[in-house]
Amino acid sequence: MTEYPEAVDRRHTNSVKWDVKDGELPMTIADMDFKTSPAIIEAMKDKLTLGAFGYEDIPAEYFNAVADWYEKQHHFRPQTDWMIFTTGVVPAISSAVRRLTSLGDNVLVQAPVYNIFYNSIVNSGRHVVSSDLVYDVEQHSYSIDWEDLESKLADPLTNLMILCNPHNPVGIIWTRDQLIRLATLCRKYHVKIFSDEIHGDFTFNEQGYVPMFSLPEELIQDLEVAVSPSKTFNVAALHAATVIVPNANLRAQVSRGLNSEELAEPNLMAIPGTIAAYEKGSEWLTAVLDAIQDNRKVVSDFINDQLADVITVVPGQATYLIWLDVRKLTDDSDALAKFIQEKTGLILSAGNIYGGDGHNFLRMNVACPTKTVLSGLDRLARGIAEWQQK
Ligand SMILES: Cc1ncc(COP(=O)(O)O)c(C=O)c1O
């Protein structure tokens, strides 16, 4: 039997996810209910004991830890001089939008997609253009409409694409061939790529995911990749991430952007926390991945057994977020999510916020103990039964 990672009661801990009413169960925002790796906690304690918290440089050890992790876990070692420290993936995205595009430009995404991409684009006065992923209702799978994508990349106003690799919320792991095709098209139309790879450590296929910086040299010249321990080790409040930009000119531009927006300075825990995570956290992560994989199966089995006539689990291969097709119940998943919350206390993310066809889906976060998942499923079944009787 799997040794599950320890979970913590996060009520009344300033947790955004757990800021809910008594009795409510949030399976929403993408962080985990598991306590982080003991190695990270140890490193943070050592730092606290030191008691000196002045301004810090980013040591070589930090960049080596990032490179080692990608070499060991993902079979490609990014060069350390391609890397820049930053305070988060979203800050890096917003900075890239501002630095690499002009007011009024288009930034391309693939909806349904992580909702904050939209904020980063719109808040900077750029236009969102989506080449929506196409859902096959029979196969329960998404694909890229390459013709549509090419026509949108060809628009001279489209200068940046934000890719989610692997994809939140639909759980696709892009293959090397798909990434090569995408990067080739972007190169043809002079569109830069920001590849958000924050979910790259949560893959449940044989091969894992393909970091975009591992593509052939000629395809990574207009590329910025962001990685971070924040999802992997459940340390979102660490505010530490790394952007990896192989091309020196682009890297200089990105660096100027991050520095002028004051997004390149670490807080006191960012460096020791990240180094400990990448150097000592792999065993802890294996236990977490086992727990998530088990939970993914618990959800599919339950839904296939009890709710198959109304809900379909989209069989994603990545992330701890499960994408549930509820179109047989409604095409307004926001209304359904609110109804389920009101009747049962279960809080799921309504797919509407991710754009595209998200209004037909709910997103469920299963990075929690199995008993929590079971309670969520029980509430889901009750909520759906009441919805059907409305
Ligand atoms: C795809 C994606 N990118 C970025 C983030 C957040 O990154 P950060 O906390 O480093 O800004 C999330 C969090 O859910 C996410 O799902």
Please write the tens of the pLDDT for every residue from 5-38: 899 999 999 999 999 999 999 999 999 999 999 9
Please write the tens of the pLDDT for every residue from 101-121: 999 999 999 999 999 999 999
Which of 184, 166, 187 is closest to 175 using CA atoms?
A: 166
Q: Please state the atom number of ligand 1 nearest to the C-alpha of residue 91.
A: 11
Burial of 248 (0-12, 13-18, 19+ CB in 10 A): exposed
Binning pLDDT at 50, 70 and 90, where does residue 355 land? Answer: very high
pLDDT of 3 strictly over 80: no
Question: For a pocket test of ligand 1, which of 114, 235, 319 has the largest count of ligand atoms closer than 8 A to its C-beta?
Answer: 114
Structure confidence at residue 1 (pLDDT): 45
The secondary structure of residue 259, as a DSSP letter, is: H
The secondary structure of residue 319, as a DSSP letter, is: S
- Please identify, in words, the CATH class of the domain defined by 25-36+282-389: alpha beta
**Averaged pLDDT, 209-229:** 98
Burial 105-139 (b: 16+ CB within 10 A, else e): bbbbbbbbbbbbbbebbeebebebbbbbbebeeee
Binning pLDDT at 50, 70 and 90, where does residue 356 land? Answer: very high
Structure confidence at residue 78 (pLDDT): 98
Please write the tens of the pLDDT for every residue from 357-382: 999 999 999 999 999 999 999 999 99
pLDDT of 87 strictly over 60: yes
Structure confidence at residue 2 (pLDDT): 54
* Domain limits, the chain: 25-36+282-389, 40-280
- In angstroms, the CA 186 to CA 208 distance is 24
Structure confidence at residue 4 (pLDDT): 79
pLDDT of 317 strictly over 60: yes
Q: Which residues line ligand 1 (CB under 6 A)?
A: 30, 88-90, 114, 164, 168, 196, 198, 228, 230, 236, 241
Q: Which CATH architecture has domain 40-280?
A: 3-Layer(aba) Sandwich (3.40)
pLDDT of 53 strictly over 60: yes
Binning pLDDT at 50, 70 and 90, where does residue 390 land? Answer: confident
Residue nearest to atom 13 of ligand 1 (CA): 30
Please write the tens of the pLDDT for every residue from 246-281: 999 999 999 999 999 999 999 999 999 999 999 999
Q: Please state the atom number of ligand 1 nearest to the C-alpha of residue 114.
A: 1
Q: Please state the atom number of ligand 1 nearest to the C-alpha of residue 88.
A: 10
